[in-house]
Amino acid sequence: MLPLYPLKFKTIYKDKIWGGHKIETYLHKDFGSLPNCGETWEISGVKSDVSVVANGELEGESLAELLEKFQHQLVGQKVYDHFGNIFPLLVKFIDANDDLSIQVHPNDELAKKRHNSFGKTEMWYVIEADPGSTLITGFNQPVNEQIYLDRFNSGHLMDILNREQVNAGDVFFLPAGRVHTIGKGLLIAEIQQTSDITYRIYDFDRVDDKGNKRELHTEEALAAIDYKFYPEYKTKYQSEKNETVKLVKCPYFTTNLLDFTENTSKNYAGLDSFVIHVCIEGEYIIESDNKQYPVKMGECILLPKTIDSIELKTTTGFKILESYIE
C-alpha cells in the first residue's frame, strides 16, 4: 500500500446567485467559465461532492476511497471509530458579492431524524472585508418562537436579528441553530461539519435568471432555531506573531491561527486526528519525510494521522487556519 503524505485536493467551484469574483482576484483561483463563484469546496466528504486528490502518487483517488483504504491511518483511530468512512469536516472559501439568505442549520439530533445526516456547526474567519461590510448572527434581544413568528409574518424579521460590523481577521463561531447570514463584500474561510443541510428563512425576495424565487424552509426552520439571546457573538482572541493561537474549540473541530513570519515546526504525535491547513495569507513549504510540499494562499492541505511532525519554511510569512478533532 502506498504511504500517506500531505494531500492536496482539486477545488470544487460553486456558482451562486450571490457569488462574485474574489475567489479569482484575491485568492488567485481560476473558476473557468462560471459567471461567478460563490463558494469553493476545498476538502469535502459530502456524497454529492467528494474531493479528489490533486498531488502525488494518490492523485485521482477520492477522499472516500482513501478512507476505505487507509481508515484510522488517515484520520486517527478515535475519529474513524466515530465517523467511519465519512470524512467529518468540510472546508470552504465563500465570496459574498451580495447578502446570502437568512438561514439556519439543524443540530445532529434533528439532522439525523430528518435527513439521516450530521448537523452543521461551523466557524468563519474573515479573510477580506469591503469597507462597511456586515453579517448577521443570532438575535439582538431575547425572543421565543412566538415573537420570532410574529416578526417573520409581519415582515419585520430583520428588526430582531443581530448585525455585526466586520473587518478582516474577525472570527465567528456558529453552533447549529444560530440564525445567520454572510453579508455583501465578505471573503470568508469556513470550517464546518460535513453537512449540506440549510434551512433558508428569508432571501430578500430575489429571483434567479428565470424569474424564480429560491425555496424557503419556514416550517422546517422553527424547530432548528436557537432562540436564546447571547450578549457576545464575535469570537474574541489575541493574535500573536509566531505563536499558535486557539480560535475555536468545540466537539466537532478545534481551529487555531498560525500567523508566522519565520520558519517553525509542528509536532502532532500526541494528536489522534488528521490535521487540515488552510492558507489564508502568504506561502510556505511543508517538509515531511524528506520531501517538500509548497502551499500558497487559497490552498488547503490535509495531513494524515500518520504524519507526526513537519517543518514549515517560509520567506514571505504566512497565516494558516489549523484544524483537527480533539
Pick the closest to residue 106 from 198, 170, 35 (CA basis).
198
Burial class (CB in 10 A: 0-12, 13-18, 19+), 175: middle
What value, to the nearest 5°, has the Cα angle with vertex 270 and ends 265 and 272? 115
Could you please report the per-residue DSSP string of 162-223?
EEEE--TT-EEEE-TT--EEEPTTEEEEEEEES----EEEE-TT-B-TTSPBPPP-HHHHHT
Distant-in-sequence, close-in-space partners of 28: CB < 8 Å, separation ≥ 6 = 297, 298
Cα 10 to its chain centre, rounded Å, is 16
**Which amino acid would we find at residue 274?**
F
The three cell numbers locating residue 250 = 468545540
The cell numbers describing 289, all together, are 519525510
Residue found by looking up cell 480533539 in the block: 326
- C-alpha 120/C-alpha 240 separation (Å) is 29
Cell numbers at 105, concatenated: 442549520
Residue 216 DSSP class: P
Q: Please name every residue paired with 264 in a beta bridge, in sequence order, or none if there are none.
A: 312
* In contact, 304 and 79? CB cutoff 8 Å: no
Provide the grid cell at 132: 462597511
The cell for 157 is: 424579521
Distance CA 127, CA 117 (A): 29
The residues that are catalytic are 200
